[in-house]
Amino acid sequence: MWQLFEDLVGEILREALRTKHECTVVHVDRHPGFKSLDYVVTNSRRKEEWTVGIQCKRYIGSALPKYRLGEYGSWSRGTSAAQLYDKGNELHEKFPRKKFVLMAFNAFRNNTHQEQRFRKLESSWNCVMVFDKSIDSTTPYTYKIALPELDRIVKWC
């Protein structure tokens, strides 16, 4: 199921960029040199190789505090807001003139501390997109999908 979400993100990006013929969405997951990225958007009119990097996550679990990250497994750490904050900063240090987007299907925000950790992600990523904007989770498999940030990403490309 996880691969379906990643493929969906790629298709959404390709559809959003279909009128920009100079832009190409490239899947770079597990490719050396692109650690922490799943897709990059290349632009043939610019001298740089790529302009926007995309990281996909199933969800953003903001319940893990930064000082306890070492106590959890790599999968839990990889989806925590504290770890994703550091990842965003690392990407900006490694590629200073690029834009980075964090795309997640869901985000857990149960209390004010978790909400603050989640909101802090916006300072280390150029854009944070959460696909499922549903607040009521009592009805299974019903999602309120909203992607207003997509236009901003297209402009960057």
Average pLDDT, the chain: 79
The residue range of the domain holding 25 is 2-156
Q: In the predicted model, what is the mean pLDDT of residues 71-77?
A: 59
- φ/ψ (deg, to 5) at 26: -120, 130
Mean pLDDT in residue range 134-156: 70
The answer to whether 56 and 103 have CB atoms below 8 angstroms apart is yes
Higher pLDDT, residue 75 or 10:
10
- Closest by alpha carbon to 55, among 157, 146, 127, 109? 127
Cα-based distances in Å from 87 to 13, 63, 92, 121, 144: 22, 17, 9, 10, 28
pTM of the model: 0.80
Where does the chain show beta strands of DSSP type E? 23-27, 39-43, 50-61, 99-108, 127-130
Q: Is 60 exceeded by the pLDDT of residue 76? A: no
**Tally of structural domains, the chain:** 1
Mean pLDDT in residue range 12-38: 85
Of 53-62, 84-93, 136-145, the poorest mean pLDDT is in 136-145
Band the pLDDT of 136: cuts 50, 70, 90: low
